[in-house]
Chain A
């Protein structure tokens, strides 16, 4: 690590979510306080307790930026989401590929292809038709390498799978690579598509809201909704961005990561590790809690998560807690799992650019843990610095802090 770490900025961002296919559509949706849940049509949910989720509107045919029909056809749904968001990020950054590393977070990866392989293998037939292709294209690293080829990116790749923190970790890794001088710029992000196995998994855990309407931070919240999508950013040294006169969306000010060893699927109730990552990110950024204008919370809407995160925010902010504006955008698009941390980072960037804040929808009665300013309607507000939390199964916790350029 150089004695004087380099300033790191975001020069491009891309997003596809149930709210829309790009940055503009997502801004419009979140600013309007829209909700984006619909009946699941990708697989059979007739025997599940829950039948809705946030489905992205993914084009059927290959996009018109040079992806061949064959390459598109071999990509799983998640990779297609990732490709669209990554392409938007590169385009916004004024880049067309190059020798940059690619750090990507995912949790379910190409699970639907694995499911198809499994079902074919169970058939009482000796035919192996298409099974090699399914085995090959099921693998996340194969899919991401194919995506890199389509984007013209030739640097090394890392695929992080830290459950629901994966996307935030990917951006955090990229931040460190650039900050330390190991890379000039990195394409980083996260993605996940809906899959039957994962949907059923959350349903068996009774983690899904039976109504299909997640109510993060509501006193009577009863679970999360799943969603799908991808968020990507170009993380670049400020020096490089300035040298090529690239547009700068924000600065990356801090990142914290730690492991909650309390339980495989439940957070420490007092939010000890969440507190640790928020403190670490603030320390790196040289910021006090009262200097954070907005928190895009992990806010799943499950009883245990929201209490733990609320406690962590209270402990972190101390006397300033009532001034901290907090919302969960999972209330509008669902939990995007491995993509969540990256998509929510892009939403945080939108707030910095547009000076508005998205809402926690569907809250009828705020949980007593909400001593912070829970945003229940989208609002215009000065936003100079924002923090985003991501906490995953297995105890992977991550916090990122972004600021308007030149804020420090």
Chain B
């Protein structure tokens, strides 16, 4: 990266709790969180799916009128953004002294309201709720964020697999480099619903569906950590997941030693993890896998990885961090920070 683009703000909401501190506490403890069971009656039986939910904490919810009618995906994102920006930047944005863009990456989006709305449509479309439908649109959460912070700067939502957060960072870096914004939030958020949780279980019963959000704030700054390398993601249209994982490792050029931290995207499902495990098999530096602790939060998992890496660097455990993910059906990606 030619320009000094740094990550100067982080925010997180995860099954470990609201805030970056809760996230890091759980990751530092190193134990997988205990899932609860999501129960859905189906005919005479009940479908039970293990899930990792964000603990309820009404006090942690940002106060903003448009959030009142939203589902958790928007509320999680809003809380993460407020934490990542901090009060000073929020004031500057509201005073038109800071132009802040929003890039939102997601896989599932507002699946709760999609479920409810389509259920109502099948029952009787003439009485289906007009309040639900707009919230089912993929970019509704990101729209609420721009409205909440009072920014008319560009706002893009990207549909991706679980490696897509790096594409979001890349886009944010483009906007900053072109001078379109002074800084940019890159956000990802997902919510639990039986539709998506059971959907994930179709891939492997080892997966534990999770929810949560993470946000980072990027700006031109000569501070730590900076984005050192953010290569274009490797498309699976080019080859297999394994080939993509290997190429991603190669182009990240991360030095393999004890002062470089690897935060990978492994989930605990061996078949899914194999490409990434193989690509980084010789890694000798420190390494951890947040998804093994926090569950699989689809689009937002890589975002939580990045936040975890930034906080680890700031705590002094390493000089550099390489964060990677090999998505399920689109791409492999990563970033080198230092």
A-B interaction: yes
Give the CA-CA distance A200 to B329 in the complex, in Å: 30
B residues within 8 A CB of A264?
Answer: 66, 134-135, 140, 143-144, 147
Contact with A along B43-85 (1 / 0, CB 8 A): 1110000000000000000000010000000000000000000
CB–CB B43/A205 < 8 A: no
A residues within 8 A CB of B142?
Answer: 394
For residues 125 through 168 of chain B, which have their beta carbon under 8 Å from a beta carbon of chain A?
A: 125-126, 128-130, 133-140, 142-144, 146-147, 150-161, 164, 167
**One of B107, B128, B135 near A200 (C-beta < 8 A):** B128
CB–CB B136/A101 < 8 A: no
A141 interface residue, CB < 8 Å from B? Answer: yes
Question: Of residues B134, B178, B233, which shows the largest number of chain A Cβ atoms within 10 Å of its Cβ?
Answer: B134
Contact with B along A103-125 (1 / 0, CB 8 A): 00011010000110111011111
CB–CB B134/A265 < 8 A: yes
CB–CB A205/B130 < 8 A: yes
A residues within 8 A CB of B164?
Answer: 141
CB closest residue in chain A, given B104: A161
A197 interface residue, CB < 8 Å from B? Answer: yes
Give the CA-CA distance A169 to B125 in the complex, in Å: 32
CB–CB A169/B156 < 8 A: yes
CB distance from A326 to the nearest CB of B (A): 24
CB–CB B133/A201 < 8 A: yes
Give the CA-CA distance A142 to B133 in the complex, in Å: 24
B residues within 8 A CB of A265?
Answer: 134
Contact with A along B166-184 (1 / 0, CB 8 A): 0100010010011100000
**One of B43, B126, B138, B202 near A124 (C-beta < 8 A):** B43
B residues within 8 A CB of A163?
Answer: 137-139
CB–CB B159/A109 < 8 A: yes
| Of A21-29, A32-40, A148-156, A364-372, the one touching chain B | A148-156
**One of A118, A119, A393 near B134 (C-beta < 8 A):** A393
B37 interface residue, CB < 8 Å from A? Answer: no
CB–CB B198/A121 < 8 A: yes
Main secondary structure of the interface of B (DSSP, over half): mixed
A131 interface residue, CB < 8 Å from B? Answer: yes
CB–CB A128/B329 < 8 A: no
For residues 144 through 178 of chain A, which have their beta carbon under 8 Å from a beta carbon of chain B?
A: 144-145, 148-149, 153-163, 169, 173, 176
CB distance from A364 to the nearest CB of B (A): 28
Contact with A along B13-47 (1 / 0, CB 8 A): 00000000000000000000000000000111100
CB–CB A203/B167 < 8 A: no
A residues within 8 A CB of B152?
Answer: 258-261, 273, 276
CB–CB A161/B154 < 8 A: no
B residues within 8 A CB of A206?
Answer: 130
CB closest residue in chain A, given B140: A394
CB–CB B202/A394 < 8 A: no
B263 interface residue, CB < 8 Å from A? Answer: no
A139 interface residue, CB < 8 Å from B? Answer: yes
CB–CB B177/A197 < 8 A: no
A residues within 8 A CB of B199?
Answer: 117, 131, 135
CB distance from B175 to the nearest CB of A (A): 9
A196 interface residue, CB < 8 Å from B? Answer: yes
Give the CA-CA distance A28 to B133 in the complex, in Å: 36
Question: Of residues B117, B160, B235, which shows the largest number of chain A Cβ atoms within 10 Å of its Cβ?
Answer: B235
The interface on chain B, measured as residues whose beta carbon lies within 8 A of the other chain's beta carbons, has a size of 68
Give the CA-CA distance A109 to B121 in the complex, in Å: 19
CB–CB A47/B329 < 8 A: no
Q: A161-B138, A264-B140 are in contact. Are A156 and B235 (CB under 8 A)?
A: yes
CB–CB B122/A205 < 8 A: no
For residues 244 through 281 of chain A, which have their beta carbon under 8 Å from a beta carbon of chain B?
A: 257-261, 264-265, 273, 276
CB distance from B44 to the nearest CB of A (A): 7
A residues within 8 A CB of B328?
Answer: 142
A1 interface residue, CB < 8 Å from B? Answer: yes
Give the CA-CA distance A260 to B133 in the complex, in Å: 19
A residues within 8 A CB of B125?
Answer: 47-48, 200, 203-204
B234 interface residue, CB < 8 Å from A? Answer: yes
CB–CB A160/B174 < 8 A: no
CB–CB B178/A141 < 8 A: no
**One of A125, A158, A276 near B43 (C-beta < 8 A):** A125
CB closest residue in chain B, given A206: B130
CB–CB B158/A161 < 8 A: yes
A341 interface residue, CB < 8 Å from B? Answer: no
B284 interface residue, CB < 8 Å from A? Answer: no
Give the CA-CA distance A176 to B176 in the complex, in Å: 13
CB–CB B121/A197 < 8 A: yes
CB–CB A261/B146 < 8 A: yes
A96 interface residue, CB < 8 Å from B? Answer: no
**One of B130, B138, B161, B238 near A204 (C-beta < 8 A):** B130
B115 interface residue, CB < 8 Å from A? Answer: yes
CB closest residue in chain B, given A183: B232
CB distance from B302 to the nearest CB of A (A): 13
A54 interface residue, CB < 8 Å from B? Answer: no
Q: A145-B329, A155-B232, A204-B128 are in contact. Are A258 and B154 (CB under 8 A)?
A: yes
B residues within 8 A CB of A124?
Answer: 42-45
CB distance from A198 to the nearest CB of B (A): 8
B195 interface residue, CB < 8 Å from A? Answer: yes
Give the CA-CA distance A131 to B118 in the complex, in Å: 18
A126 interface residue, CB < 8 Å from B? Answer: yes
CB distance from A180 to the nearest CB of B (A): 7
CB distance from B174 to the nearest CB of A (A): 7
B residues within 8 A CB of A392?
Answer: 139
A and B contact pairs by CB, cutoff 8 A, 13 listed:
A49-B126, A107-B137, A124-B45, A139-B329, A141-B327, A159-B160, A197-B114, A197-B118, A197-B121, A204-B129, A205-B130, A261-B143, A396-B156
Given contacts A123-B43, A124-B42, 15 further A-B contacts (CB under 8 A): A107-B137, A109-B138, A118-B118, A123-B42, A136-B329, A141-B329, A144-B330, A145-B329, A156-B232, A162-B156, A163-B139, A180-B178, A200-B133, A258-B153, A394-B142
